Structure 1
Amino acid sequence: MANLLRSELYKLYKEPSFRILCFTFIIVAILLSAVINVMGSDQKVFSGITGLGYGVQVNVLVLKISLAIVGGFFLSGEHGLGIMKISAASGYSRGQIYTAKLAAYSIGIIILSLIVPVICVAAGSILNGFGSLPEIHAALYLFRTLAFTILYAAAFASMVAVFAVTTTVSGITIGGVLLVLLFFDTLSQWLSGKWAWYREIYEHTVFKLFMDIAAFQPTTYELALFILIPVATILLFAWVGIMSFRSMEIK
Structure 2
Amino acid sequence: MSNLVKSELFKLRKDRIFWTLVIGLALSGAFYPMLIFFDDGTFNAQAVSVNELYAYIALGGNNYITRLVPCILAGFFISSEYSIGTMKSIGASGNSRLRIYLAKLMAFSLGAVVISLAFPIFMTIVGSVFSGFNDMPELSYIVRTIGLTILYALAFASIMAVAAIIFTDSGKTIAFLIIFFTLIDSILYALSQEFTVFETIFNHSVFKLFLDTTKFKVGSEELLNLWVVPLITYIIFAIIGSIVFQKKEIK
Q: Same fold by TM-score, threshold 0.5 exceeded?
A: yes
1:75 aligns with 2:83: no
**Partner of residue 182, structure 1:** 182
TM-score by length of 2: 0.92
Q: Distance in 1 between matches of 2:45 and 2:77?
A: 45
Report 1:7-86 matches (<5 A): 7-39=7-39, 45-47=48-50, 50-86=53-89
Change (3 A) 1:17 1:42: closer
Deviation of 1:2 (Å): 1.5
**Partner of residue 232, structure 2:** 232
The 10-residue stretch of structure 1 (233-242 or 32-41) with the greater mean CA deviation from structure 2? 32-41
CA contact (8 A) 1:48 1:124 kept: no
Q: Specify every segment of 5 or more residues in structure 1 that has no aligned partner in the other structure, as ranges.
A: none
Question: 1:158-177 CA distances to partner (integer Å, 9 max, x unpaired)?
Answer: 11101102322111100000
**Partner of residue 194, structure 1:** 194
* Matched AA of 1:88: G
Q: Specify every segment of 5 or more residues in structure 2 that has no aligned partner in the other structure, as ranges.
A: none
CA contact (8 A) 1:49 1:131 kept: no
Percent identity at matched positions? 35
The 10-residue stretch of structure 1 (108-117 or 20-29) with the greater mean CA deviation from structure 2? 20-29
Question: 1:8-39 CA distances to partner (integer Å, 9 max, x unpaired)?
Answer: 11111222211211121122112211112224
Q: Distance in 2 between matches of 1:235 and 1:187?
A: 24
Q: Distance in 2 between matches of 1:61 and 1:223?
A: 22
The 10-residue stretch of structure 1 (53-62 or 114-123) with the greater mean CA deviation from structure 2? 53-62
**Partner of residue 109, structure 1:** 112
Match of 2:92 among 79, 83, 89: 89
CA contact (8 A) 2:25 2:115 kept: yes
1:122 aligns with 2:128: no
Deviation of 1:48 (Å): 5.7
Deviation of 1:130 (Å): 3.6
CA contact (8 A) 1:87 1:97 kept: yes
Deviation of 1:121 (Å): 1.2
Deviation of 1:200 (Å): 1.9
CA contact (8 A) 2:59 2:120 kept: yes
1:216 aligns with 2:216: yes
SS at match of 1:211: helix
